[in-house]
Amino acid sequence: MRGTAVLSTGCRPATSSGVNPGKPPTRVLRLVLEYDGTDFSGWQVQLGKRTVQGEVARAVQRVTGERVVVHGASRTDAGVHAEGQVAHLRTRTRIGCDRLVHALNAHLPPDVVVLRIDEVPEGFHAQYHATGKTYRYRLLERPVRSALRRNRAYLVRTPLDLERMRASAARLTGLRDFRAFCTEARTRGRTERRIDRLDVRREGDEMVIEVSGSGFLYNMVRTIVGTLIWAGIGKLSPDDVSAILESKDRRRAGPVVPPQGLTLVEVRYGDGPGPASP
C-alpha cells in the first residue's frame, strides 16, 4: 500500500541544542513510543490526570523550551500498553533525532520511553495517515491469578477451546460492519472496518489474540476478545458469531474485556510500520 506521507531518508544532523533565536524552520518529527499503561489515564491529555500525551509534551518542553501538541496515532485507554505507538509533533529545535531520543528519555518517567525519532515531510499526521494497526490481547488461562502478570493479562479460569476460538475468529476477517462490536455511545459515522488478520494462539498458560486491520472502532478489539472468550468456553458457536455480526446489535456480542491485557503493537503507514526499535 502507498500512503500519503513518505518518510525522508534521515534526520538533519544536530548543529546546536535547543531553539535557535533566529527562528529556524519548523520541522515535523515522528516518534515511536513504548509505554506501560497501568498508571496512565490513557493517551489523551485530561485535566488533573496523568496521561502519556501529557508526559511526552512536558518532556519536549523541558528539552526544547517549546510548548507543543503531540498527536498520537491511537488514543489508547487507561491501562492499555504500547510497544509501537506513533506520534508526531512540530518543532523548531535543531537537536538531531538521535540526540533528541536520549534527551527526551532523560526527562520521561520510567513507564514511557521514546524508541525512535524520524523527520517526516510537512503535512504528515500520525493518526490520519496511518494505513493499519496491530493490537495484541493476552489471556491468562489458569485457575489461579498471577501476581506478576496482573497488569499485562486478563485472567480466565475456565479452559478455552482454541480451535473453536480460531473458527469463530475466521468469521470476523475481511471488510465487515462491526456495529455489534463497538460502544455505540462513543462511535460516530460509518462502522465498517477491515480486519486483515485475526490470530488466536496458545503460548504456555496464555491465550494470545492478535488482530491487524485498517482501523478500529471504540472498544472494538476488546469486544472481539470478549466474544471469542464466549466462543472458547462454549457459549457461542462460529455460526453464532456470524449472526451477531449480521445483527449489528451490540447486546448480542461478548463483554468489553478489561484494558490491562491489551497492547498496541504497531502502527503502519505507506512506507511500512512505524519502526518499533531504535
Asked whether the beta carbons of 124 and 27 are under 8 A apart, the reply is no
Catalytic residues: 77
Asked whether the beta carbons of 156 and 140 are under 8 A apart, the reply is yes
User: Is the four-CA dihedral 19, 40, 274, 125 of positive or negative sign?
Assistant: negative
Residue 58 cell numbers, joined: 512536558
Helices (H) and strands (E) in the chain, counts: 5, 11
Q: CA nearest 33: which of 82, 90, 68?
A: 82
Burial 41-55 (b: 16+ CB within 10 A, else e): bbbebeeeeebbbbb
> H/E element holding 35?
strand 27-35
Contacts of 109 (CB under 8 A, 6+ apart): 55
Pairwise CA distance, residues 215 & 156, whole Å = 27
Asked whether the beta carbons of 256 and 223 are under 8 A apart, the reply is yes
Pairwise CA distance, residues 50 & 37, whole Å = 10
Pairwise CA distance, residues 237 & 44, whole Å = 37
